[in-house]
Amino acid sequence: MNVPVEYRGREQTYLKHRVLTEYLNSWAQKWASTARGLAWPPQPNREVRLWYVDCFAGPWQANNQNLEDTSVAIGLNALKQAARRWTEFNINLSAIFVEKNPTAFSKLEKFLSTQTEPVKTHPLFGAFGDHVTTIDRLLGTDPAFLFVDPTGWKGAGMSFIAPLASKPHRDVLINVMFNHINRFKDDPRHFLREQMKDFFGVNSGNIPPKLGEDELFAFYREQLRSAAKIPYIADLAIPHSTKDRTWFRLVVGGHHHAAVELFRNVEKRICGTEANTVRNEARSRETLQLGLPLELEQEDISYQRLHQTALLQATSDILQNLARKSPQKFGDLWPHILCERHITKSELAQIAFSLVKQNRISIIEQEPNPRRRSIKSEDSIELLRST
């Protein structure tokens, strides 16, 4: 694959936008499909309104005149694709764009004025925190996707995100700019301590000191879960284009387990496969410019570190969950493991079935099926006494 020229030198932003695109497209298609009346209780041809909310819209660093390399265009395109796919149904689409920089907001308004139906746009000038009440009122009870992508951390405090993300039918994707936050999270200066406390939602006390990357994001996820009452929260790492360190960390939150299942599938596809190709291209250009020997990675080491750790820990995760409660449905078990581990549902199901074959756990069924080759969400599993 070739990275679009407008992303050259900022491939980490390209990968971030690929995750946003893949997740948002699937999210919009899923919710648009409910207009068929398949929801319960049945409401034939019921009206569905979907919202995309870009809380720090910019547009920033756009190198494409159509802003195709911005979250603004990505959000609009996802909604339009859903409209085209379900054109025979009663689907209304709306988008909110918040921006406080006058120059960027002027560019945003100009771009939105060129857009035609079917998406109704609401540009809001000012800081994200100043528009929380307005955004909440506009969204009402409709399904909404919130994208929080600040240029740093100021203005993206937990007290602003939580009231919006706490409502049912709302998913939130937050870009935590780890490279910047990691430099200042333990800085003793008072104003930085207060900014960090605001971002992490620490109302009293302080952020635990000297947290490593994984521990820091476990802490952030727990703060978001507590503040917004979101049951399913996970994160993934976006590496720098040529350096082996995390640049962004994207955190997703949703009120249905489908959110974390989708997120892990997107992570495997983008961070596990595409990222390797993208970073190899970037490294190729850099090494050739410097006249250095070219050594390309076969696998993206950033994702592999997280993924391999998850695969190794999955067995104990399953057994420990069943030790606390046995029997239980696999559908009650897998979402919470996926929140913590960088693994897909299908991979976890394969590991669980291997435990069945090892006689460490069993599937509760009236008539054992010797031809069974997998575990499904509706299956009840239990820990065998010999484990």
- In tens digits, the chain (387 residues) has pLDDT values of 678 888 888 889 999 999 999 999 999 989 988 766 644 454 555 678 999 999 999 887 666 666 777 899 899 999 888 888 777 677 889 999 999 999 999 999 999 998 877 899 999 999 999 999 999 999 999 999 999 999 889 999 999 999 999 999 999 999 999 988 999 999 999 999 999 999 999 988 889 999 999 999 999 999 999 999 999 999 999 998 888 889 999 999 999 999 999 999 999 999 998 988 888 888 887 665 554 444 555 557 889 999 999 999 999 999 999 999 999 999 999 999 999 999 999 999 999 999 999 999 999 987 877 788 899 999 999 999 764
How far apart, in Å, are the Cα atoms of 352 and each of 35, 82, 200? Answer: 35, 35, 35
Q: What is the pLDDT of residue 289?
A: 55
- Listed in order, the ranges of the chain carrying CATH 3.40.50.150 are 5-256
- Listed in order, the ranges of the chain carrying CATH 1.10.10 are 299-383
Q: Specify burial of residue 218 (Cβ count, 10 A radius: 0-12, 13-18, 19+).
A: middle
Show Cβ contacts of residue 319 under 8 Å, excluding neighbours closer than 6 positions. 355, 360, 361, 383, 387
What pTM, to 2 d.p., does this model score? 0.92
Instruction: Single out the residue of 86, 97, 59, 73 nearest to residue 20, CA to CA.
Output: 73
Q: What is the pLDDT of residue 292?
A: 45
Q: What is the pLDDT of residue 302?
A: 85
Looking at the structure, give the CATH architecture of the domain made up of residues 5-256. Answer: 3-Layer(aba) Sandwich (3.40)
Q: What is the pLDDT of residue 206?
A: 85
Instruction: Single out the residue of 259, 243, 236, 247 nearest to residue 341, CA to CA.
Output: 236
Q: In what order do the strands lie in the sheet with 328-329?
A: 328-329, 380-383, 361-364
Looking at the structure, give the CATH architecture of the domain made up of residues 299-383. Answer: Orthogonal Bundle (1.10)
Q: What is the pLDDT of residue 64?
A: 62
The conformation of residue 58, written as its DSSP 8-state character, comes to -
Give CA–CA dist 280/344, Å, rounded. Answer: 25
